Amino acid sequence: MASSTAHNEGATLDAIQQWVTTAARAASDKKAEDTVVLEVGAVLAITDAFVITSGRNRRQVLTIAEEVEAQVKAIGGPSPIRVEGLADAQWVLLDYGDFVVHVFLDEVRRYYDLERLWGDAPVVEWEKGVAAAAGAE
């Protein structure tokens, strides 16, 4: 993951990758669907990565967003610079500067189809350690 900008001063590339992976895993912990991490830094100068995920209903969308924020903070990561979409819970955006988490309601995600829009961006394999950790329990 190439760092295009330094929104969280002093944040290393390793720290940003850890925050992104933690955000994706937090979503997965709350049964989010089809969580994808896109490395968008090379094609979008304002952030390095998108975490895109979805929930089946508005309550789950809010729960996923809350869990992402809590887990990123729990590992010493930053709070979001801006949070949008909590009122209607169809598309909650958590902007951390160096990365952005998009939590969609299923049908809204299909409509906007960010994965297609940013199809040139490499997909980050964030699940590598998840299976190993689950097997260790």
Whether 48 maps to a domain, the answer reads: yes
Cα–Cα distance for residue pair 81/97, rounded to 1 Å: 7
Residue 110 lies in a domain: yes
Relative to beta strand 33-39, strand 49-55 is: antiparallel
Q: Whole-angstrom Cα distance, residue 57 to residue 109?
A: 12
Give domain status of residue 131, yes or no.
no
Q: How many domains does one find in the chain?
A: 1
Task: Say if 83 falls within a structural domain.
Answer: yes
Cα separation, 74 vs 48, whole angstroms: 21
**Domain-located, residue 133:** no
65 lies in a domain? yes
pLDDT for 96-133, tens place per residue? Answer: 999 999 999 999 999 999 999 988 888 988 886 544 34
CATH of the domain at 75: 3.30.460.10
CB 2 within 8 A of CB 42: yes
The answer, yes or no, to whether residue 5 has pLDDT greater than 50, is no
- The answer as to whether 96 is a domain residue is yes
Structural domain containing residue 73: 13-115
Q: Which of 14-18, 20-24, 61-65 has the lowest mean pLDDT?
A: 14-18
Q: Find the helix or strand (DSSP H, E) in which 123 lies.
A: strand 123-124
pTM of the model: 0.85
Q: Can you tell me the distance from the alpha carbon of 8 to that of 20, in angstroms, rounded to the nearest whole number? A: 13
Which pLDDT value is given to residue 70? 98
